């Protein structure tokens, strides 16, 4: 039951953040903002950072952000494409729902993920 409530809260936050009035952030994508977004939106399914308060709720969690970042084919462009695409139509099929993020949120998340690419 706790997992469902947590997921519902994250879903409500995601919906609310997309509907908010922010059109973009001055100064370009901010990896710190991306880290904050990842912690508040992505933790039900992914390990996004070592400072994550709770583990993912899935029995078989999605790949950790560090693993995604370290893939040889991970680039800013590939991450943006993935986050802006309806995942159920991608090949191979993914079960991740389309997060419906605003452009500035995608850019911040991508900036954060790219900081993980060269970390040990």
Q: Helix %, strand %, coil % for the chain, to 5?
A: 50, 0, 50
- Cα–Cα distances (Å) from 61 to 21, 76, 102, in that order, read 32, 23, 24
Q: 100: number of CA atoms within 13 Å, CB side?
A: 12
Q: What is the pLDDT of residue 63?
A: 92
Per-residue model confidence (pLDDT) at position 58: 85
**Token pair 């139509």: residue:** 89
Q: Which of 11-15, 30-34, 37-41, 74-78 has the weakest average pLDDT? A: 11-15
Domain spans of the chain, in order of start: 2-20+29-116
* Amino acid 96: pLDDT: 74
The lowest-confidence range among 5-9, 20-24, 57-61, 99-103 is 20-24
Asked whether residue 35 carries a pLDDT value surpassing 50, the answer given is yes
The superfamily CATH assigns to domain 2-20+29-116 is: Cytochrome c-like domain (1.10.760.10)
- Per residue in 66-115, pLDDT (tens digit) is 999 999 999 999 999 888 886 655 555 566 777 889 999 999 999 999 99
The percent of residues above 90 in pLDDT, for the chain, comes to 51
């Amino acid at each position: 039951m706790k997992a469902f409530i947590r997921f519902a809260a994250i879903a409500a936050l995601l919906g609310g953040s997309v509907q908010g009035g922010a059109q973009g952030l001055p100064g370009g994508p901010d990896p710190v903002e991306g880290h904050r977004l990842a912690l508040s939106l992505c933790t039900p399914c992914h390990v996004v950072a070592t400072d994550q308060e709770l583990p993912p709720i899935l029995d078989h969690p999605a790949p950790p952000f560090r693993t995604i970042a370290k893939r040889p084919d991970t680039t800013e462009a590939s991450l943006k494409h993935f986050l802006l695409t309806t995942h159920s139509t991608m090949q191979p099929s993914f079960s991740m729902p389309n997060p419906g993020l605003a452009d500035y949120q995608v850019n911040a998340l991508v900036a954060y993920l790219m900081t993980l690419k060269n970390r040990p």
